Amino acid sequence: MDSLKTQDLAQLLGLYSPWIIKDIELVRDSDSLTFIIEKQPEKNRFGFLSGSKKGPKVIRRWQHVRFGHVNTYVEATLTQAEVAEMLVSRPPSFLGEEHKTITRELADTIHIAFSRNLTAEMISGLLGMSLALVEGELRDNGEHPQTSGSLLPLESNPIWRQVLTDQLKLTTQLLPLKLLLSRLKLEVQKNAGDVQVMQKSIAELRNFFIRHAPQLQEEYHALGASESQSGANSNQPGAMKNKLILPGTKNPLWHQLLTGELDLKSQNMALQLSLSRHRRSYFVTLDDAERLDIIRNLQLFFKHNARNLIPELRKLTDLLMHQKAQRPVQLPPVSNSIWKDLLLDEALLNSEKINYRLLLSRLKANYQRDQDPHNIEQLHNFFTHNAQSMTDEISLINRLAANQ
């Protein structure tokens, strides 16, 4: 195989020295792609003696993240010493643990999906792997709760590159992490453009986070992960602390942000440029419709770049929480006819919120069949409990009720 293509595939796998792709096997009948990798022998400082340890070797094979519709596998030939080392330390993301049949990257992907409240069946369908493998990995994780590092962004996530190139400022009070960041950033800077150096540095940094998780709670948050978060407790009240929410389009926070009354103190250059451009447009127009369009564009910027704007989103969420604490939800009473109108006329409130649309469809069918007033109460309760994410809809409901 052409060496350039092999290097490209190695980059996709996240391989770094001394690991290389030795061969690639594509079995079309079973739609499977196997990367056969090996560790290059290390040379000593004189350059003519191999530093590799001789002895019996074993072949290990793990299922990896799919490439398109093809099931992907990684096969490695390891010495007994390397196998023993994998039992006491975390292998690279492109390899798996000794007792597992999937790579660590695929295992971490499963845990991240599960922490976002996806069921085992959904994860199985999305990743194109058997349900038994997914359930087995989740079961193993339940028996070993120390695997909180699985909730960190994957090694393939660009957020690690942004940290090591100072595109994302990661502040920390932990001295060992400060020293590690300084060393890795210098190494990446000295070897700019060397993909293997970057990948190796990312792996070292992520492993540090995993080993020191209890001391890095704030740093975990800054990367969009919480070391205490899990799918099992995501429905508990404490889990809501980690949920980041954008203000509604008509929330006054956007006006304050675009007029300079609110300063997020962001170090993100892309956000600073976007805010500067949107502020100019916002100042030169007094038309409400145009200003709403500007706010929507800014909202889209936050949504598309959410992973890189964790500190800014956290501050907006805190401000929303403060708003909610200061101002109780204002809704028409259950007895107001607007609630019956909403049940019978779906076009009256054209919301894009899928949870509202599903609920309305079910309640409407029940109400048309039984005329049960409990359906109206359920609709009212839905808006009371979801007021924080339904500010635009609640504003419209209040206007419709006032105009009746």
Structure-token pair, residue 16: 């770094």
* Predicted pLDDT at 46: 42
Q: Residue 108 falls within a domain, yes or no?
A: yes
Q: Long-range contacts made by residues 119-128, C-beta under 8 angstroms, separation at least 24? A: 127/65, 127/66, 128/66, 128/69, 128/71
In whole angstroms, what is the distance from residue 340 CA to residue 349 CA?
Answer: 12
Q: Residue 168 falls within a domain, yes or no?
A: yes
51 with 180, same domain: the answer is: no
* Predicted pLDDT at 45: 43
**What residues have CB less than 8 Å from 10, skipping those under 6 apart?**
19, 20, 21
Q: Residue 384 falls within a domain, yes or no?
A: yes
95 with 42, same domain: the answer is: yes
Question: CA 289 → CA 179, 220, 228, 249, 297, distances in Å?
Answer: 51, 39, 43, 11, 13
7 with 137, same domain: the answer is: yes
Structure-token pair, residue 350: 């054209």
136 with 18, same domain: the answer is: yes
Query: Which of these, 189, 217, 218, 213, lies nearest to 201 by C-alpha position?
Result: 189
Give every strand in the sheet of 70-79, ordered side by side.
19-27, 32-39, 70-79, 57-67
* Predicted pLDDT at 147: 45
In whole angstroms, what is the distance from residue 404 CA to residue 337 CA?
Answer: 9
Are residues 172 and 178 in contact, defined by beta-carbon separation less than 8 angstroms? yes
121 with 31, same domain: the answer is: yes
Residue type, 298: L
Q: Residue 150 falls within a domain, yes or no?
A: no
Q: How many domains does the chain have?
A: 4
280 with 352, same domain: the answer is: no
Positions of the chain with pLDDT under 50: 1-4, 45-52, 143-148, 227-241
18 with 130, same domain: the answer is: yes
CB neighbours (10 Å) of residue 134? 25
Structure-token pair, residue 126: 């999305």
> Could you give the angle at the alpha carbon of 149 between the alpha carbons of 203 and 212, nearest 5°?
80
Mark which of 144, 167, 188 sits at the end of a domain.
Answer: 144
Mark which of 292, 326, 360 sits at the end of a domain.
Answer: 326
* Torsion sign, CA atoms 51, 105, 153, 235: negative
Question: CA 77 → CA 55, 74, 112, 265, distances in Å?
Answer: 12, 10, 29, 50
CB neighbours (10 Å) of residue 291? 16
In whole angstroms, what is the distance from residue 106 CA to residue 136 CA?
Answer: 13
* Predicted pLDDT at 383: 84
Q: Residue 26 falls within a domain, yes or no?
A: yes
Collapsing DSSP to helix, strand or coil, 148 comes out as helix
Q: Residue 383 falls within a domain, yes or no?
A: yes
Q: Residue 238 falls within a domain, yes or no?
A: no
* Predicted pLDDT at 199: 83
* Residue 278 backbone dihedrals phi, psi, to 5 degrees: -70, -35
Are residues 311 and 377 in contact, defined by beta-carbon separation less than 8 angstroms? no
Collapsing DSSP to helix, strand or coil, 23 comes out as strand
Residue 50 β-bridge partners: 43
Q: Residue 239 falls within a domain, yes or no?
A: no
Residue 20 β-bridge partners: 38
Are residues 64 and 73 in contact, defined by beta-carbon separation less than 8 angstroms? yes
Domain containing 39: what range?
Answer: 3-144
Q: What is the DSSP string of 225-255?
A: --TT--TTTTTSGGGGGG---PPPTT-HHHH
In whole angstroms, what is the distance from residue 76 CA to residue 97 CA?
Answer: 12
* Predicted pLDDT at 53: 52
Mark which of 112, 144, 176 sits at the end of a domain.
Answer: 144
21 with 131, same domain: the answer is: yes
220 with 256, same domain: the answer is: no
In whole angstroms, what is the distance from residue 107 CA to residue 329 CA?
Answer: 42
In whole angstroms, what is the distance from residue 243 CA to residue 323 CA?
Answer: 16
20 with 132, same domain: the answer is: yes
11 with 80, same domain: the answer is: yes
165 with 96, same domain: the answer is: no
Rounded to two decimals, the pTM is 0.48
